[in-house]
Amino acid sequence: MFKKSILVSLGLCAILSAQDFDTFLQNALHNSPYLQANKLAISQADANSAIVQRYKNPTLELEASRFRPDRESDANGYRAALTQPIRLWGVGDDRASLADATKAEAKEFVTLKRADFIKRLSLLYIEYSINSSLLALAQEEMQVAQTIVDISYARYDAGTIAKIKYLQAKVDLLRSQNILQEQKAKTVASYYKLLAFAGLQEEVEIEKDYNFRLTASNDSQAPSLAYIAAQQKKQEAAATLNTHKIEWMSLYGEVEKERDQKSYRVGIEIPLAIFNTKKEERTIAKLQAKKSAFLLKNQQQQLGIVLKSIKKELALLQGVLDSTQKLYATQKELLVMYEEGYKIANINLIELQNIKNQMIATKEKTITLKKKIQQNIVNYNYAVGAYNESK
């Protein structure tokens, strides 16, 4: 009795200390090395943006010379020249636009990866939750099988049934025990798979009855669409920048001293866009932007169909779930009546086991339907942008 009280107390502590899915998710978002690695893309984009906008370094030329005119003594000379590349008017603004588009693309990439992470973690949690429910169902089946064995043994001991009936009930109990052990293994495997994906080192108790709900309509965009749109803007900015055939010219100043004279020079060096006009670069950037536009349109069309499909399927699945739950409740009530009848030898063992198996199959169907509903809700919420960074 004392040992049983300790076990009950430990069980209550585990329940009280168990995390709900929202808390577990926040811990995963905060600690996941995968997400931390993806966030570095923003810092990389900032650095790349700075590279796009930075000025070129000046060049300094220093030169020493020695003159030897005819019939005169040697003389020293020198030359110093400073050259600074100057960005042409308008190029700076276009480079700034490209830099901003690069940073925006990186942010959408991080948001996409975060949304993908939440979606995947949610689906893994559903898998773990369903396996836990199937484990509870296996325990329920074993308890019913044990009850049937106890009744069969009592009737066999009283001489009202043959030993073979008792052995049949015992075989069914052993089968139930085997299913229970298999389901325990599946539940443990799904738990550690969830934990590993979350990037958490320590084991935590997670509540198993969390229900996902459809998000309310919002102005968020599907993360995949937002990322494609950001890519398109970056490619358009690159195409605009490549419209400049010439981006730089060089301003230089020079001083030169010879034996009996000193020269100063100031000038501009302008490249001539004769052989390299950036025509190919502009074409590639425009084609890439056009490609992204088609991909975005294709994704939008597919997404619209997917959302309609999910909503209709959810409505149908909910109807099937309601009727299946009613069927289960009726079968459970019937099983109790059959158990009572079997005690007084009015019911055949095979009939009782059939009712039990039908009830278990109905409950398993209920669990499977709940899984499909929850998966559809997660996929719907992901599609409408509920898992974006701002959420």
pLDDT at 391: 44
In degrees, rounded to 5, the angle at the alpha carbon of residue 152 between the alpha carbons of residues 146 and 156 is 145
DSSP reduced 3-state for 354: helix
| DSSP for residue 75 | E
**Assigned CATH topology for domain 55-87+247-277:** Outer membrane efflux proteins (OEP) (2.20.200)
- All residue ranges of the chain with pLDDT < 50 are 1-16, 391
How many angstroms separate the CA atoms of 270 and 249, rounded? 5
Picking from 19, 360, 368, 7, the residue whose alpha carbon sits closest to that of residue 208 is 19
Q: In b/e form, how buried is each residue of 170-190, taking b as 16+ CB within 10 angstroms?
A: bebbeebeebbeebeebbeeb
pLDDT of residue 76: 79
Q: Regarding the domain delimited by 18-54+90-242+279-383, which CATH topology (the fold level of the hierarchy) does it fall under?
A: Outer membrane efflux proteins (OEP) (1.20.1600)
Give the strand pairing for 262-269 and 248-257. antiparallel
With contact defined as beta carbons under 8 Å apart, do 253 and 265 qualify? yes
Alpha-carbon span 156 to 166, nearest angstrom: 7
**What whole-number distance in Å separates Cα of residue 152 and Cα of residue 165?**
7
| Tens digit of each residue's pLDDT (9 = 90 or more) over 208-267 | 889 999 887 666 678 888 898 898 899 888 888 888 888 888 998 999 887 778 888 899
Could you check whether 18-54+90-242+279-383 and 55-87+247-277 share the same CATH topology? no
- This prediction's pTM: 0.83
Domain-wise residue ranges, the chain:
18-54+90-242+279-383, 55-87+247-277
